């Protein structure tokens, strides 16, 4: 959600704690200062550059998958090389995304755009000030019901009707239902609330019991421990993988050889299987019953859909623990 008095973007990032990298990077690689929450090692899920450009993504609620780049890398490119809303819109319309997303843009003057990105079709650029997990018409009813995307959108639209609403009130609303979610084991719990204030050059990460403020003028390196809870009084335990000493040795060279063969032949099914195996081996699941069950479920999903988008793969992983 964006507001203009002063210019501010607030968002909740809902995901599984085990799958969130939990890292903020402060960088200056291409003559632009960038502060961003990372994903996929150097990608971006939300962030801001020193020109006052802010970007944030939400999943677009579609099963559609096409040829394109992962959206975190596209948003990294936007922050590294774009200085204005117009430049960012041009990049998002030019560089293809492999999945559907809603991208919110804001600058330090309060101008904004929300772009509905869909693989292999034309994007839609709107003036919407709110974005949840769908794009106009519900395309994936099960996901819409699970994420309560329509309920959250209505709440935000009602909230924004008050044009003089204080910025702090907006941020605090994201820490409460229906925006704040506790479905951590289902892969849809609120990992953090981020607040970007581009005119002042700072951002905040907010949790129920603490806050982190970082700015271009004063960025502090630090570690922060966050406890995620399924219920207000019950702490969520992040399960660590158990490495069995009797499990077969994982041969890295063999894995990459099989992965390379799958890539070269263009066999998407085998390629997906190799990726799933690679993640399982990395977590110490090789040769275990859990790994066998995971691969069976993975194969069933692949047969039904012909492909397995990363959102579905993440949901599968969230339900399988050693």
The pLDDT score that the predictor gives to residue 238 is 52
Q: What is the 3-class SS of 74-106, one letter each residue?
A: HHHHHHHHCCCHHHHHHHHHHCCECECEEEEEE
**Residues in CB range of 210: below 8 A, 6 or more apart:** 224, 226
Q: Which of 100, 39, 150 minimizes the C-alpha distance to 309?
A: 100
Element (H, E) at 292: helix 289-305
Read off the pTM.
Answer: 0.74
Find the helix or strand (DSSP H, E) in which 115 lies: strand 112-117
pLDDT for the residue numbered 11: 98
Task: Say how far apart CA 180 and CA 78 lie, in whole Å.
Answer: 28
d(CA 289, CA 180): 35
What pLDDT score does 233 carry? 58
Contact predicate 35/11, CB 8 Å: no
pLDDT tens string, the chain, 322 residues long: the values are 999 989 999 999 999 998 899 999 999 999 899 999 999 889 999 999 999 999 999 999 999 999 999 999 999 999 999 999 999 999 999 999 999 999 999 999 999 999 999 998 999 999 999 999 999 999 999 999 999 999 999 999 999 998 888 999 999 999 999 999 999 988 899 999 999 999 999 999 999 989 999 999 999 999 999 999 888 755 555 544 443 334 333 333 454 556 556 555 666 666 667 767 766 666 666 777 777 777 777 777 666 666 655 555 666 556 655 4
Q: Are 74 and 92 in contact (CB under 8 A)?
A: yes
List the 54-59 sheet strands across, edge first: 24-27, 34-39, 43-49, 54-59, 101-106, 112-117, 124-126
Q: In the prediction, which pLDDT does 131 show?
A: 97
Q: Which helix (H) or strand (E) holds 197?
A: strand 188-197
Determine whether 223 is exposed, middle or buried from the number of CB atoms within 10 Å of its CB (0-12, 13-18, 19+).
exposed
Q: For the chain, list the domains and their CATH numbers.
A: 2-162+176-215 (3.60.60.10), 252-318 (no CATH)
Q: What is the model's pLDDT at position 245?
A: 36
């Amino acid at each position: 959600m964006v507001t203009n008095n002063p210019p501010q973007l607030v968002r909740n990032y809902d995901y599984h704690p085990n799958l969130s990298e939990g890292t903020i990077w402060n960088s200056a690689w291409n003559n632009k200062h960038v502060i961003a929450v990372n994903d996929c090692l150097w990608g971006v899920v939300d962030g801001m550059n020193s020109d006052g450009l802010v970007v944030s993504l939400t999943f677009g609620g579609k099963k559609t998958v096409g040829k394109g780049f992962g959206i975190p890398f596209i948003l990294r490119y936007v922050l590294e090389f774009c200085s204005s809303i117009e430049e960012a819109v041009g990049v998002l319309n030019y560089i293809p995304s492999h999945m559907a997303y809603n991208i919110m843009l804001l600058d330090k003057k309060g101008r904004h755009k929300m772009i509905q990105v869909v693989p292999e079709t034309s994007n839609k650029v709107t003036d919407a000030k709110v974005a949840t997990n769908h794009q106009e018409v519900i395309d994936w009813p099960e996901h819409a019901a699970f994420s309560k995307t329509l309920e959250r959108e209505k709440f935000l639209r009602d909230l924004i009707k008050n044009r003089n609403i204080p910025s702090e009130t907006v941020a605090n609303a994201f820490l409460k239902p229906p925006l704040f979610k506790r479905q951590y084991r289902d892969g849809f719990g609120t990992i953090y609330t981020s607040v970007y204030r581009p005119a002042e050059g700072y951002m905040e990460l907010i949790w129920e019991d603490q806050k982190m403020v970082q700015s271009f003028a004063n960025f502090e390196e630090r570690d922060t421990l966050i406890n995620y809870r399924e219920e207000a009084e019950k702490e969520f335990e992040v399960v660590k993988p158990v490495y069995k000493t009797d499990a077969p040795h994982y041969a890295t060279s063999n894995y990459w050889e099989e992965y390379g063969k799958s890539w070269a032949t263009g066999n998407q099914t085998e390629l997906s299987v190799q990726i799933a195996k690679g993640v399982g081996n990395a977590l110490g699941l090789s040769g275990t019953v859990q790994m066998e069950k995971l691969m069976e479920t993975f194969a069933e999903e692949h047969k039904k859909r012909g492909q397995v988008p990363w959102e579905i793969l993440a949901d599968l992983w969230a339900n399988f623990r050693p």
